[in-house]
Amino acid sequence: VKNRPARVGRNPRTGETVDVGEKYVPQFKAGKEIRERINRAG
């Protein structure tokens, strides 16, 4: 899990600026077997 800091966003419909609070987001890290399969396939 990774912390995403607070930032200022924008509402695309109105153009109004919006404060977006900090949040925790999942972070994916590929395992060794997946990396090896991808490297072999490419």
Count Cβ atoms within 10 A of the Cβ of residue 29 and give its class: 0-12 exposed, 13-18 middle, 19 or more buried: exposed
Q: 17 pLDDT exceeds 80?
A: yes
Mean per-residue pLDDT of the chain: 95
Quick count: other Cβ atoms within 10 Å of Cβ 36?
Answer: 11
Joined together, the tokens standing for residue 11 give: 């509402």
For the chain, which residues make up each domain, given as ranges? 2-41
Secondary structure in 3-state letters for 3-29? EECCEEEECCCCCCEEEECCEEECCCC
Tell me the average pLDDT across 9-36: 97
Pick the CATH number of 2-41 from 3.90.1310.10, 2.60.120.10, 4.10.520.10, 3.20.20.70: 4.10.520.10
pTM of the model: 0.55
- Kindly state the tokens that stand for 22: 């900090």
pLDDT at 41: 84
Q: Which amino acid is at 33?
A: E
